[in-house]
């Protein structure tokens, strides 16, 4: 009986630490994040931690960047941007968060993802063949990335409300 109480106490402490430690780490990361969200910037650096943000990029030569959604959400609208001739690479990290990337219908998109209880939904309709390519490298831990050409409710949340 005593042993089971000790095991239960240990499991309870581990559960509390499993919630508290990531939350504290996210709060510290939020204070240290360097944000580059200039609409004309060829490279972006976005971080949404415990918040949501909508960012539009109109760069004449978009090259990519990094984005982190940690307990937060982002909408990155690239429909006014032009891909660099060599293409672009966007690295997305979604941890208990979500990212919606809006791309023009003419862009070619390639997705590489590592899902851990999360995933990527690519609904872009770009052409096959030659030309610049947007590569999205996504790590989704209890989160997701949606790539669309139209501004829609990516996961159908409004339909369920």
- Amino acid 23: pLDDT: 61
More confident residue, 13 or 51: 51
Can you read off the two tokens belonging to residue 93?
């990290």
Range of the domain at 44: 33-153
pLDDT of residue 49 exceeding 80: yes
126 part of a folded domain: yes
10 part of a folded domain: no
Band the pLDDT of 129: cuts 50, 70, 90: confident
Q: How far is CA 73 from CA 10, 94, 101, 146, 154, in A?
A: 33, 9, 11, 11, 12
pLDDT of residue 160 exceeding 60: no
138 part of a folded domain: yes
What percent of the chain is modeled with pLDDT above 70?
Answer: 73
Distance from the first to the final alpha carbon of the chain: 46
**pTM of structure:** 0.78
* CB-neighbour burial class of residue 145 (10 A; exposed 0-12, middle 13-18, buried 19+): buried
122 part of a folded domain: yes
pLDDT of residue 82 exceeding 80: yes
pLDDT, tens digit, 9 for 90 and up, residues 16-35: 666 665 666 666 655 555 56
149 part of a folded domain: yes
More confident residue, 34 or 126: 126
Average of per-residue pLDDT across 96-101: 94
| Count of structural domains within the chain | 1
Average of per-residue pLDDT across 45-60: 91
């Amino acid at each position: 009986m005593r042993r089971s109480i000790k095991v239960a106490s240990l499991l309870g402490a581990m559960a509390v630490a499993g919630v508290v430690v990531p939350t504290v780490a996210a709060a510290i990361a939020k204070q240290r994040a360097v944000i580059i969200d200039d609409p004309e910037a060829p490279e972006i650096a976005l971080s949404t931690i415990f918040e949501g943000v909508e960012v539009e990029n109109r760069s004449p030569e978009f090259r990519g960047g990094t984005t982190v959604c940690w307990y937060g959400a982002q909408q990155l609208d690239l429909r006014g941007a032009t891909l660099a001739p060599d293409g672009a690479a966007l690295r997305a990290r979604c941890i208990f968060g979500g990212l919606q990337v809006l791309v023009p219908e003419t862009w070619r998109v390639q997705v590489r993802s590592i899902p851990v209880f999360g995933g990527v939904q690519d609904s872009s309709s770009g052409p096959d063949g030659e030309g610049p390519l947007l590569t999205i490298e996504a790590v989704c831990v209890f989160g997701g990335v949606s790539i669309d050409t139209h501004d829609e409710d990516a996961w159908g949340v409004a339909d369920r409300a």
